[in-house]
Structure 1
Amino acid sequence: MQALVIGAGPAGLMAAEVLAGGGARVVVAEAMPTPARKFLMAGKSGLNLTRDEPWPVFAAHYGGSAPGLRPPPEYLENGEMGPEAVMGWARGLGVDLFTGSTGRVFPVGMKASPLLRAWLARLSGLGVEFRMRCRWRGFDGDGWRFEVPGGVEMLHPRAVVLALGGASWPRLGSDAAWVPWLAGRGVEVAPFRPANMGFRVHWSVPMARHFGQAVKGVALHAGDAVSRGEWVVTAQGIEGGGVYEVSAAMRDGAEALLDLAPDLAAGELARRFAAAPAKLSVGNRLRRVLGDPLRAALLMEWGQPLPADPARLAARAKALRLRHEGPMDIERAISSAGGIAGAGLTEALELRALPGVFAAGEMLDWEAPTGGYLLTGCLATGRLAGRGAAAYLAAAR
């Protein structure tokens, strides 16, 4: 074995593809019974591969200290694995794509499984060996110790790519068990925090009738971030893509303001409130003007006491403070922020404390929202780490 990739998610599979494509003998070790479980789970509601939008807009969604993804993410921009490259790579696997009205790019069939099957077939054709139920358990001298169905196995690869995920969705394999082993070898790891997560809300009793309903046609502002996406009211709080897009700013303390009528100027909204029949109840008046019972309910929930003056009521509806009790636990988050700090990585994503060991994906200290950004970043760092490991092997030869 020349190269070992630990973790069979998108980042690990991309690193394996790069290494095997360059002629390396590659083993992929995966703790779970099947590869890419989180990838498949994320694709159940439609696999959003990337985002087709102007580069400055796309790049602004990345944060953190990891090389290649810190703003501006030069590695994505130079075409190695940016949106255009992701689309070309998927088409190369025989997957037809379409772009939605918001710029999100999906497979025509929407599902992740056909793409994954084609990808695994390509990797097998390149000679990549998969070892499932092969869980890394740390170091033993200069060897890598694995728990396997038959007991314990020691591996001694020439180069390693770590793609073990962050700390979200531990039941699918991303449990951050690797942190003490790397920290013990001098690798700095920034604390993990939830990313792309919902927020807890203690609703009043009348809101129970709206649990499970989608909030549409609103704008959510938090700091410099703005989202027009849909999100869902649940018994625990609020979740969904529209919240995830601004969740990092909310988590870090920015006040969240909800515009319930983003396509109407405040003056026009005030005029409509003034024109609503006075005989209507407050709730019916709000529903008539806002055009949606759920938006009216949110104004009733978070806007009390409601101003009687139409202009002040319109101002409140245009900048409604979203009252929450903090982010949901990291175990429920789509992804995580934090991870291996950028200061401990080379530009090729090699660990400075462990020459010949590279890292990719959500192990690294970076974050991006869902909607194509997160997956593109995982693929990009996987390719970058794979290229780094390939160059390391070539130099050793």
Structure 2
Amino acid sequence: MSSPAPNIAVIGAGPAGLMAAEVLAGGGTAVTVYDAMPSVARKFLMAGRGGLNLTHSEQLPLFLSRYRDAASWLAPAIQAFSPQQLRDWCEALGEPTFTGSSGRVFPVAMKASPLLRAWLRRLDAQGVRVELRHRWTGWDDRGHLTFETPNGPHTVAADATVLALGGASWPRLGSDGGWVPILAAKGVAIAALRPANCGFTVAWSDTFRDRFEGRPLKSIALSFGDRSVRGEAVVTRDGIEGGAVYALSAELREAVAVHGEAVLHVALRPDVEAADLTKKLSAPRGKQSLSNVLRKALQLSPVAIGLLQEVAKSHSLSLSSLPPERLAALINAAPVRLTGATGLVRAISTAGGIAREELDENFMLWRLPGVFAAGEMLDWEAPTGGYLLQASFATGAAAGRGVMRWLASNHKHAVIPGRP
């Protein structure tokens, strides 16, 4: 008589958890996915509203460098489930992908919902069960998993557990960091959760805030320290956010934490040399106002001109009184003082999490044999551009394979699966 299939609990129904479940079901285990929310993958669906950026097409060495200090220990997982393999996986679900002009990879449908529906159908066909409105609260004195549900407390005896509970950004979508005290009580070292790919606060004047809130600064370059990035930013009521800001957010966040502020330099016409700007600004104005010159001769938008005026005012300068050379320099290095990072509630992703040294090569927690972790709850961060989802998928697959190896080594009659 054959032994019953091992019973595996996956806690968290985002990309990392669902990928772990797929690997585990493919290996012949009985898998149940638990999630506190009324539906699965809410943040994944939110990420796809503006076009689901799954991964990036750049060469793998450059791709891995985007994970910075975490690159070395994430590399095996991403190499085992690479950007190309992620694209092949989507194709197998009937959702082909394409590479955009920036090198980012999207499903042809652009949205997350068709891909998620196809994925859930596959998981259902594999026998994966999903239990919603189950908020994990830890373990009881027998080592069983405990949950709060609408029907009261519930316990589960699992042969192994994969934790894929996310970070703490956009908590209303389900990832609220509630797992931190549970694991900390078990002695697991956890780096403080901090906002990543976030905006920053700026003490705008009421005039600038009221006029330009929500307006984009397009085709700009942002610089901080020795890094400079091209892209766009958006003026918010309390500060500044957007893709170019997010690309520098790790450095800016740390500078604010240490010094209480950071000065971000904004180049409003990064493709025009200082000498050319100076020449245009030196031409006779006639009866034109400076604002008209900036708009017509330099093609600056109203919000860009407003930003120059705001910066000048904060430094007690008069733009119209500045020599052309100084004004040209200000246009391509306008200093904006950042006073803080926006909180986790609005951050795209989370820095911090379970420390690398707490995990073995199979993503199992040393202190908690049979408990594995994946996704954004681990201590890594990456910029937007497909790197966040890629690492979530890849570490989920790696944790699933790790469970299978651990079960096999403990003679629980599991078969190590192939890659998804």
Q: Distance in 2 between matches of 1:241 and 1:120?
A: 31
Query: Displaced runs of 4+ in structure 1, greater than 6 A?
Result: none
Q: 1:57 to 1:302 in 2, by over 3 A?
A: farther
Amino acid at match of 2:33: V
How do 1:1-397 residues align onto structure 2 when only pairs under 5 Å count? 2-65=7-70, 68-69=73-74, 73-76=75-78, 78=79, 80-141=80-141, 142-207=143-208, 208-253=210-255, 255-275=263-283, 277-291=285-299, 292-304=301-313, 305=317, 306=319, 308-397=322-411
Q: 1:22 to 1:67 in 2, by over 3 A?
A: farther
* Contact 2:161/2:371 (8 A) holds in 1: yes
* Contact 1:66/1:342 (8 A) holds in 2: no
* Contact 2:65/2:71 (8 A) holds in 1: no
Q: 1:258 to 1:60 in 2, by over 3 A?
A: farther
Alignment deviations for residues 359-383 of structure 1 (CA, whole Å, 9 cap, x no partner): 0111101111222111111111111
Secondary structure of the residue that 1:186 maps to in structure 2?
A: coil
Alpha-carbon offset, residue 244 of structure 1:
1.2
Q: 1:64 to 1:359 in 2, by over 3 A?
A: farther
Q: 1:390 to 1:74 in 2, by over 3 A?
A: closer
Alignment deviations for residues 150-191 of structure 1 (CA, whole Å, 9 cap, x no partner): 222211111111001111111111111111111111110111
* Contact 1:145/1:155 (8 A) holds in 2: yes
Quick check: 1-10 or 283-292, which moved more?
283-292
Match of 2:414 in 1: none
Quick check: 282-291 or 23-32, which moved more?
282-291
Q: Distance in 2 between matches of 1:216 and 1:164?
A: 36
Aligned-CA RMSD value: 1.8
Secondary structure of the residue that 1:45 maps to in structure 2?
A: coil
Q: Distance in 1 between matches of 2:398 and 2:226?
A: 30
Amino acid at match of 1:26: V
Secondary structure of the residue that 1:232 maps to in structure 2?
A: strand
Secondary structure of the residue that 2:223 maps to in structure 1?
A: strand
Quick check: 265-274 or 183-192, which moved more?
265-274
Amino acid at match of 1:22: G
For structure 2, the 5+ residue unaligned runs are: 1-5, 256-261, 412-420
Q: Distance in 1 between matches of 2:91 and 2:228?
A: 31
Secondary structure of the residue that 2:341 maps to in structure 1?
A: coil
Q: Distance in 1 between matches of 2:273 and 2:402?
A: 52
Tell me the percent identity. Answer: 53
Q: Distance in 2 between matches of 1:340 and 1:114?
A: 32
TM-score of the superposition, structure 1-length normalised?
A: 0.94
Secondary structure of the residue that 2:219 maps to in structure 1?
A: coil
Amino acid at match of 1:35: V
For structure 1, the 5+ residue unaligned runs are: none
Q: 1:356 to 1:67 in 2, by over 3 A?
A: farther
Secondary structure of the residue that 1:219 maps to in structure 2?
A: strand
Alpha-carbon offset, residue 65 of structure 1:
4.7
Q: Distance in 1 between matches of 2:277 and 2:240?
A: 26
* Contact 2:87/2:96 (8 A) holds in 1: no
* Contact 1:165/1:362 (8 A) holds in 2: yes
* Contact 2:280/2:298 (8 A) holds in 1: no
Secondary structure of the residue that 2:338 maps to in structure 1?
A: coil
Q: 1:363 to 1:153 in 2, by over 3 A?
A: same
Q: Distance in 1 between matches of 2:61 and 2:305?
A: 36
Alpha-carbon offset, residue 145 of structure 1:
0.7
Secondary structure of the residue that 2:277 maps to in structure 1?
A: helix
Q: Distance in 2 between matches of 1:227 and 1:190?
A: 28
Alignment deviations for residues 37-66 of structure 1 (CA, whole Å, 9 cap, x no partner): 011111111111111123343223214558
Match of 2:259 in 1: none
Alpha-carbon offset, residue 121 of structure 1:
0.8
Quick check: 137-146 or 83-92, which moved more?
83-92
Secondary structure of the residue that 1:75 maps to in structure 2?
A: helix
* Contact 1:19/1:386 (8 A) holds in 2: yes
Amino acid at match of 1:112: A
Quick check: 86-95 or 158-167, which moved more?
86-95
Amino acid at match of 1:162: L
Alignment deviations for residues 206-240 of structure 1 (CA, whole Å, 9 cap, x no partner): 32222211111101122344332222112122122
* Contact 2:263/2:338 (8 A) holds in 1: no
